[in-house]
Copies of this chain bind each other. A is one copy, B any other.
Amino acid sequence: MKAIGVEQGSAEPTLLDVPAPTPDDGEALLRTHRVGIDGTDFEVLEGTHGGFPAGDDYQILGHEAVCMVEDPNGTQLDRGQFVVPTVRRPPAESNEYFDRGEPDMAPPEDCLERGIDGAHGFMAEYVTSPAEYLIPIPNELADVGVLIEPMSNTAKALELAFSSRGVLEWEPERVLVLGNGPLGLLTLAMVQPTVEHAYCLGRRDRPDPTIDIIEELGATYVDSRETSVSEIPDVYEPVDLVYEATGYARHAYDTIDALGPGGVGVLLGLPNDWTFEIDGGALHRELVLKNKALLGSVNSNLRHFESARESITTLPEWFLDRIMTDVFPPERAEEAFAGGDDRIKTVIEFEAL
């Protein structure tokens, strides 16, 4: 079957011809409809994140997928049903995180990640998965369902943020999203209707499709080249919630400055090592005196995928249309991975509806 992956020694996405998988007991055989491309795929290509499945000299990419059940194989699923697979799978021996339904809380060494770390991804004509890691979605979400995986990460991060203020009266009124990639824009669209004002930070010149979307959502675009994250309280106002999706390490610390009293910063980016100076005393004091919180958040579990499946139905149709900018067949993988400023979410379509 056709698959898009990366071969040992290469950093390029390649159209591979690999054997189709056969489902084990409890696994369904799925036919892949669409798979989204995101920043993590590029880290996998570059070899800075994750690793190949044990014993294989290639890694099939892709972790944002919509598939159709080809063979339920004795599971509760129905043939022809659309599903979105979760990403994390237990290592050879299961562990406490999977046993208690919190694979998203496992440290990297205690889980595999499909398409990322130690397990093949979903960019292939056929994939298999235990039924317990698949959430059914209605047919009408099949084309945009690749957004459910990234949105599930936001669902988890927001759940952590609200939980961290659970004993307080806390409703974030001003929100700052760091990053205007697909994850930033999806998060902005998810939170915007519930807050008084939202800001979204990027470093792009106008005219730009992401700036247009930010403003059409009613949010304010902040150009990080003009206003740093630390300056946001002075130039605009302090915010109650910062959602960091840039992976720019300074943003984690500047977030402390951007927050108002009782504010929460959720961090999702994965920067490389980078040593720099901070006023560690002032930031520490600021965290304490104003009861601020910084929460790291990675991945998501079944509950967050289910929450994202709900949330996606609340997003405006124009927004989803404009987020889903490019669709390529697997044969044009190189072009699909080439990127470009007019692209927001690029997907590979294996089988049209």
Of the residues B102, B278, B298, contact of A169 by C-beta under 8 Å: B102
Q: Are A276 and B277 in touch, CB under 8 angstroms?
A: yes
Contact pattern, A 159-194, Cβ under 8 Å of B = 1, otherwise 0 = 110011111110000000000000000000000000
Interfacial chain B residues near A9, Cβ < 8 Å: none
In Å, the complex CA distance between A290 and B272 comes to: 15
In Å, the complex CA distance between A262 and B299 comes to: 13
Interfacial chain B residues near A168, Cβ < 8 Å: 102, 105
Contact pattern, A 265-286, Cβ under 8 Å of B = 1, otherwise 0 = 0011111111111111111111
Q: Are A289 and B163 in touch, CB under 8 angstroms?
A: no
Of the residues B159, B253, B262, B267, contact of A167 by C-beta under 8 Å: B159
Q: Are A280 and B252 in touch, CB under 8 angstroms?
A: yes
The interface residues of chain A, by DSSP majority, are classed as mixed
Interfacial chain B residues near A159, Cβ < 8 Å: 167
Interface status of A195 (Cβ within 8 A of chain B) = no
Closest chain-B Cβ to A157's Cβ sits at a distance in Å of: 10
Q: Determine which residue in A159, A250, A275 has the highest number of CB atoms from chain B within 10 A of its CB, and name it.
A: A275
Q: Are A280 and B249 in touch, CB under 8 angstroms?
A: yes
Contact pattern, A 91-132, Cβ under 8 Å of B = 1, otherwise 0 = 000000000101011111010000000000000000000000
Among A271-319, those with CB < 8 Å from B are 271-298
In Å, the complex CA distance between A163 and B329 comes to: 46
Of the residues B104, B271, B285, contact of A284 by C-beta under 8 Å: B271
Interfacial chain B residues near A249, Cβ < 8 Å: 280-281, 284-285
Interfacial chain B residues near A253, Cβ < 8 Å: 280
Of the residues B163, B165, B274, contact of A281 by C-beta under 8 Å: B274
Interface status of A261 (Cβ within 8 A of chain B) = yes
In Å, the complex CA distance between A268 and B283 comes to: 12
Closest chain-B Cβ to A98's Cβ sits at a distance in Å of: 13
Interfacial chain B residues near A102, Cβ < 8 Å: 168-169
Closest chain-B Cβ to A26's Cβ sits at a distance in Å of: 24
Task: Say which size band chain A's interface belongs to.
Answer: 35 or more
Q: Are A280 and B275 in touch, CB under 8 angstroms?
A: yes
Closest chain-B Cβ to A174's Cβ sits at a distance in Å of: 15
Of the residues B278, B283, B291, contact of A105 by C-beta under 8 Å: B291
Of the residues B110, B262, B274, B279, contact of A274 by C-beta under 8 Å: B279
Q: Are A293 and B291 in touch, CB under 8 angstroms?
A: no
Closest chain-B Cβ to A253's Cβ sits at a distance in Å of: 6
Given A284-B249, A284-B269: A293 and B164 within 8 A (CB)? Answer: yes
Q: Are A289 and B284 in touch, CB under 8 angstroms?
A: no
Q: 24 interchain pairs (CB within 8 A)? A: A102-B168, A105-B168, A105-B262, A105-B291, A163-B164, A163-B165, A163-B166, A252-B280, A267-B287, A270-B285, A270-B288, A272-B285, A273-B279, A275-B277, A277-B277, A287-B296, A288-B297, A288-B298, A290-B296, A290-B298, A291-B296, A291-B297, A292-B296, A294-B294
